[in-house]
Amino acid sequence: MSVDSMGSRRSLFEVDLNLVQLKATMLPTSDVLSQDELRKKLYRTFKDRGILDSLKTQLRNQLIHELMQPVLSGEVQSLSLSVEGSSLLIRASNSLVADHLQRCGYECALSVFFPESGLAKEKVFTMQDLLQLIKINPESSLYKSLISGFDKENQKGFLMQFLKELAEYHQAKESCSMGTQTTSTFPVKDSLAEKLQLIDDEFAGAYPQHPKLESLEIKLNEYKREIEQQLRAEMSQKLKYFKDTEIAKIKTEEKRKCEKELAELRNEFERACQAKSEALISREKMTLKRIQKHQENETKEIYTQRQLLLKDIDLLRDREADLKQRIEAFELAQRLHEEENKSMTDGLRRRELNIKSIEEAYDLKLKNELLKYQLELKEDCVARTNRLIEDKRKNKEKAIHFQEEIATLNFKKEELDRSVNRVKELELQLESVKAQCLALTKQNHVLSKKVKEMSNYSLLKEGKLELEAQNKLLKQQLEDMKSENLNLLNRIAQPSPELLIFQKELKKAEDAITLEHKEFETQKQALQKQLQSEIEHSAQLKAQILEYDASVKRLTVQVTDLKLQLKQTQIG
């Protein structure tokens, strides 16, 4: 196997594994899969998407190319079968086999057959080309039945249809030949000499010898001619019968020979196919074992990654809950703003309605006054008309003034909408900053807990001091015992058996003390290592706390800036 192919397969696996991991992240934490279930799920997904089939075909093609490389370079002698006939016949037979494999759904054998035979998919013969190559007459019944059967039963393939038609044709022919063989035999007749002798006997018995020989000879000659004609006719019939029977026998023998040869060829072809399929199956098993090992290793890696992803999912869910709360608060604020806007729009509509009602009332008053003036004083019509013109002009000016007020109101409304949008944007920024502050406060709490846990350092120190005090006491006891032993040795020159026993016990006690001392030193070293690691960890935590404090200060500054901007926008 080459390194490039392994890399390509690994990349395919990694892509699909990433997809599976993303799907796993979308699942809830309660649906945690075991290692075997995840492996089965991966196998099913790979099988459904066709990745396993594509991998199998790639591996087969690669195996064939790698096996063909030493054959082409001359390292191994290729055991190619000697195929008789031209390249056209080889191509026709290869196309027949390829069509049969494709129709039967043997994709594994087909993927191996194409590169091994050197046949391209574009160069495969069609059914019409094969029939033309076999030299079957297009007007014959066999040709028509093959085409009609191929159109109707397209799934069987050309080879199955052709063999079926040949079998039916030969069965019909065998029934005809068997009919000719079972016909009644031609009646056997006597030879020519016996017949002539019988005729002579009959004539001799029936008629006496006539003195006239000439008339008898004439009659005999005529009778001979008739008999010769009859014999010739019989001989021709016998020859025809003999020809028919012999030809039928020859045909049956040839048919049997052809069938035997076809059976032998089929057996040889099946054996070769079985050998090739067994070799391919063994290679597939080896490759599948390798793939399974590779999958097991990758499933382990996936499991570890999945655990990490589940932890990340928990954190994301907490963040989502916070975001939902913020979104709800934002929606409430938005609703309040919308209600305020609605109240403003309702007030504007009421003002417009009031203005319209005032205009209508004013128009009615004008009409009533005009009628009164027309009825009362016809003489003052010109003056009143002038007044009316002035009133109309004033009304127009008022209408223009009202329109200007409406335009100013619309402009103020647009400014209000802009300010509302700006306020919303600033609120979103403020919420994001609050979220960051909350996250930082949580981290500070965690770090403070860790710092509290580090307070056990003083207890460890106290334990260490106690152990040192015990060690000192043991050393003092040892020194006392040694001094007592020396005194006893000085007093008693000759040691008694009791003294020897005491000496042995003393040695045992000394050995026990040395062992305890060694254990104490090992414990001391382990505690010192723990102390150093905890000191380093505490230093790292302090550095992190300082960084978080700095980031919190920055965020507080940003929050204050945003609050000031909000106030300015609200004032504006």
469/566 same-domain check: yes
147-184 pLDDT per residue, tens: 776 655 555 677 777 777 777 766 665 554 444 444 44
70 pLDDT higher than 60: no
For position 300, what pLDDT does the model report? 87
432 occurs within a structural domain: yes
CB 113 within 8 A of CB 93: no
Which of residues 459 and 567 earns the better pLDDT score?
Answer: 567
Q: Which two tokens stand for residue 28?
A: 């809830």
168 occurs within a structural domain: no
392/419 same-domain check: yes
Range with the lowest mean pLDDT among 17-26, 56-65, 205-214, 510-519?
Answer: 17-26
Residue 202: which pLDDT band, with cuts at 50, 70 and 90?
Answer: low
25 pLDDT higher than 60: no
Number of domains in the chain: 2
367 occurs within a structural domain: yes
485-510 pLDDT per residue, tens: 677 666 655 556 666 776 787 788 77
459/367 same-domain check: no
For position 181, what pLDDT does the model report? 41
Rounded to whole angstroms, the Cα distance separating 419 from 423 reads 6
463/437 same-domain check: no
Q: Which two tokens stand for residue 413?
A: 């409304």
Instruction: Tell me what the pLDDT averaged over the chain comes to.
Output: 72
Claim: this prediction has a pTM higher than 0.75: no
Mean pLDDT of 71-77: 46
503/552 same-domain check: yes
- The amino acid at residue 36 is D
526 pLDDT higher than 80: yes
Task: Name the range with the highest mean pLDDT among 131-135, 224-228, 485-489.
Answer: 224-228
427/477 same-domain check: no
CB 255 within 8 A of CB 170: yes
412/511 same-domain check: no
Q: Which two tokens stand for residue 135?
A: 């030299």
Range with the lowest mean pLDDT among 51-60, 228-237, 321-330?
Answer: 51-60
503/464 same-domain check: yes
Residue 337: which pLDDT band, with cuts at 50, 70 and 90?
Answer: confident
Rounded to whole angstroms, the Cα distance separating 113 from 115 reads 6
524/492 same-domain check: yes
Which of residues 403 and 260 earns the better pLDDT score?
Answer: 260
25 occurs within a structural domain: no
For position 195, what pLDDT does the model report? 60
381 occurs within a structural domain: yes
Residue 520's domain comprises 449-571
For position 2, what pLDDT does the model report? 45
Burial 99-123 (b: 16+ CB within 10 A, else e): bbbbbeeeebbbbbbbeeeebeeee
104 occurs within a structural domain: no
Percent of the chain residues topping a pLDDT of 70: 69
- Domain end (from 441, 468, 488): 441
Residue 3: which pLDDT band, with cuts at 50, 70 and 90?
Answer: very low
- Domain end (from 423, 441, 459): 441
For position 79, what pLDDT does the model report? 37
402 pLDDT higher than 80: no
For position 130, what pLDDT does the model report? 78
User: 462-469: long-range contacts at Cβ-Cβ below 8 A with a sequence spacing of 24 or more?
Assistant: 463/527, 464/524, 464/527, 467/520, 467/523, 467/524
- Domain end (from 390, 407, 441): 441
Count other C-beta atoms under 10 Å from residue 46's C-beta.
21
432/508 same-domain check: no
Mean pLDDT of 392-413: 75
500/566 same-domain check: yes
Range with the lowest mean pLDDT among 197-211, 223-237, 282-296?
Answer: 197-211
For position 80, what pLDDT does the model report? 40
* Four-point Cα dihedral 137, 138, 143, 147, nearest 10: 160
Rounded to whole angstroms, the Cα distance separating 96 from 103 reads 11
CB 319 within 8 A of CB 438: no
265 occurs within a structural domain: no
Q: Report DSSP state, residue 120.
A: -
554/533 same-domain check: yes
The position carrying tokens 């190319």 is 65
For position 185, what pLDDT does the model report? 40
Residue 26: which pLDDT band, with cuts at 50, 70 and 90?
Answer: very low
296 occurs within a structural domain: no
416-472 pLDDT per residue, tens: 777 677 667 767 767 776 676 677 677 767 766 766 665 555 666 676 777 777 777
